[in-house]
Structure formats: structure tokens, C-alpha cells
């Protein structure tokens, strides 16, 4: 235990220094608030509007999903490099991690974490095929205005 005494002393001194610095700045700092001091500083540019709203939580969820994909790739890499050394235990660990991760991914997607933009109300779609639809009513011919109509040469030649 004696070999850890210098580390414990250093941790205690670091904690005391942080706490004393915090309280000293509270006690000794001047308190003269003004509108200029409380305004946000953005490289000398005076803000012309209110700061934007906070990021939605889905932004952070997507960021966490990105990190989780990275962790999964890092977790799979050693198994791909030397699976004979790691054996079946690593395979089952990798499968368990992938199942848990995939379950969390499905949950997050089901909760709408990847639905960006304004929320659209679900609407009933009309059937895609109806009796009224023909190729002349659904396909617009572009660039045929002002052109003479094509004459079938088979009828003129007879």
C-alpha cells in the first residue's frame, strides 16, 4: 500500500487545488455584469437574431449510432484477422454483440431517429393503376409543340 501513497497524495492535492481555485475565483472575481459581457461573442460579429434552438435529440442518437457502428467494426476486425486463434468463443461474443446492437438499431429506427425534416401526416395513396389512366394522360411529350405531325409512310406509299 505504501507504493500507492504518492499517487493518492497527488490525487488529493489535485482535488484540493481544483476546489480552492474554484472558490477563490468566486470570492475574488469582480461582479459587474453588463449587456456587453452577457452577449454571446462570435468573432466580433454582433448577433442579429436569437441563437438557434437546441439540436434535436435525434441528432445525438444518430451520432451515437455512428459511434456504435465504429465500435462494431473494431470489434469484428480481430476476429476477421485471426479467427483460428480466437476460436468459437469470440464468434459467439461477436454474434451476441451484433444481435444486441441490431436490436438497438431497430428500436432507434422504429422510434423515428432517422426521420429528418418536418413530420408528414400519413395520407392514403390512391391505387397506382386505374381505368382512366392511359399513356396519353400520364406521359407528357416534351418538345413536340410546333412540330408537324408525323405522317405514316406506309399509307402514303400505297
Indicate which CATH number applies to the domain containing 94.
Answer: 1.20.58.1610
How many structural domains are present in the chain? 1
pTM over 0.85: no
Q: What is the pLDDT of residue 31?
A: 83
Is 145 contained in some domain?
A: no
Residue from 122, 102, 115 nearest 57 by CA = 115
Is 128 contained in some domain?
A: no
Q: What is the pLDDT of residue 19?
A: 96
Give 79's contacts (C-beta < 8 A, 6+ positions apart): 86, 90, 91, 94
Walking along the chain (158 residues) 10 residues at a time, the average pLDDT comes out as: 90 96 91 78 67 70 82 83 85 88 83 65 54 64 60 52
Full residue range of the structural domain in which residue 64 is found: 56-117
Q: What is the pLDDT of residue 77?
A: 84
Q: What is the pLDDT of residue 39?
A: 72
Q: What is the pLDDT of residue 16?
A: 97
Cα–Cα distance between 151 and 158 in angstroms, integer? 13
Amino acid at each position: 500500500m505504501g507504493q500507492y501513497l504518492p499517487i493518492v497524495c497527488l490525487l488529493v492535492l489535485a482535488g484540493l487545488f481544483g476546489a480552492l481555485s474554484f472558490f477563490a475565483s468566486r470570492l475574488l472575481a469582480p461582479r459587474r455584469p453588463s449587456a456587453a459581457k452577457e452577449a454571446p461573442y462570435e468573432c466580433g460579429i454582433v448577433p442579429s437574431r436569437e441563437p438557434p434552438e437546441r439540436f434535436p435529440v435525434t441528432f445525438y442518437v444518430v451520432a451515437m449510432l455512428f459511434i456504435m457502428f465504429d465500435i462494431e467494426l473494431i470489434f469484428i476486425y480481430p476476429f476477421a484477422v485471426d479467427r483460428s486463434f480466437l476460436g468459437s468463443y469470440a464468434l459467439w461474443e461477436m454474434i451476441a454483440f451484433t444481435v444486441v446492437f441490431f436490436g438497438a438499431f431497430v428500436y432507434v429506427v422504429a422510434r423515428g431517429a432517422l426521420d429528418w425534416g418536418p413530420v408528414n401526416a400519413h395520407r392514403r395513396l390512391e391505387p397506382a393503376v386505374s381505368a382512366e389512366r392511359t399513356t396519353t394522360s400520364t406521359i407528357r411529350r416534351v418538345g413536340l409543340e410546333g412540330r408537324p405531325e408525323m405522317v405514316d409512310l406506309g399509307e402514303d406509299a400505297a
